[in-house]
A and B are shown apart, each in its own frame.
Chain A
Amino acid sequence: MTATGLAPYCDEQLFIPALAARDRDQVLVEMVDRLVESGRVRAREVILHTVRERERIWPTAIGKGVAIPHGRSLVVPELTIVFARLADGVDFGAEDGDLVRLVFLILAPYHEKANRYLPALGKVVELVARDETRERLLKVNHWSEFAALIGEAS
């Protein structure tokens, strides 16, 4: 999967350029709410429960101000990525102690025909590992900028 390959799972409705949240849980709530508002998922409480539980046992802050909450659930029809740039840094318990400013929420059904979940997760990790990409993500304000960035990277 190329980074361009991430584009089908991202959407303008799932792009949040300046999310104001006081803590990690509020970030998750706001991002799940956006997913529900987009009409892609109905069972808000199930998704929130699953994402929270996973975050508790399998923390998703990978350092350098990035968190990638992810998981599988029966109520998710297809692989989907919600992106949020946080207005202020939020503590996700990262090992490097950095506050998180960039969050990718990746959700998928238990089994997909093409099994794209882990490759997509790996691609996002690879993407944000680049200093230049993180710096650009920290400045994106419009969907077109984000889409271009996802499309350009390879």
Chain B
Amino acid sequence: MESPLLKLIALQDIDMMIQEAKDPEQTGAQEELGFKLNNLDALITSRRHLAEQLDQRTLILYERMRKRYGRAVVPVEGQVCLGCFMGLPTKNVGVSGSRDDRVETCENCGRILYWL
């Protein structure tokens, strides 16, 4: 995985997983279904390794947005940022897939954007 944007999304997926693993209600629901949490430490180590692959500026942006909103990267659908639900300006008009190599932010809320 070379794209910094895709690395950020993978990092966020892990952060969401860590959050889930630390939530007794969520882990309880999973355990009732037969899924037992095995090794949270390994996931935290994996998160660290992934974060180390990002340049400092990108990582700082991610952490700042995560602290502010909980989720730093949000999807874009129909030219609308699904973080703040504001329409994106024309300069952000993009085609899915063509922008995966760029880290772009919403001009309104500052969240990082992913075109679904």
Among B21, B71, B100, B114, the residue within 8 A (CB) of A57 is: B21
Which B residues lie within 8 Å of A75 (CB)?
9, 114, 116
Q: Is A136 an interface residue (CB 8 A)?
A: no
Q: A74 with B39: in contact, given A43-B100, A49-B1, A53-B17 (CB under 8 Å)?
A: no
Task: Give complex CA distance A71, B39 in Å.
Answer: 16
**Cα distance A77–B78 when bound, in Å?**
13
A30 to chain B, nearest CB (A): 19
* Interface of chain B residues 70 through 116 with chain A (CB within 8 A): 71, 73-75, 77, 96-97, 100, 114, 116
Instruction: Please report whether the interface of chain A is mostly helix, strand, loop or mixed according to DSSP.
Output: mixed
Interchain CA distance A42-B96 in the complex, whole Å? 9
**Residues of chain A contacted by B116 (CB below 8 angstroms):** 75, 77
Most chain B CB inside 10 Å of its own CB: which residue of A50, A58, A72, A110: A58
In this assembly, does B30 line the interface, its C-beta being within 8 Å of a C-beta of chain A? yes
Interface size for A (C-beta < 8 A) is 28
Query: Which residues from B are CB-within-8-Å of A77?
Result: 75, 77, 116
A60 with B35, Cβ < 8 A, contacts A45-B6, A74-B114, A118-B29 known: yes
Q: A58-B37, A74-B73, A122-B33 in contact; A46/B13 too (CB < 8 A)?
A: yes
With A57-B21, A58-B30 already in contact, the answer to whether A74 and B35 are too (CB < 8 A) is: no
Chain B residue, CB-CB nearest to A62: B34
User: Which residues on the B side are within 8 Å of A4 (C-beta)?
Assistant: none
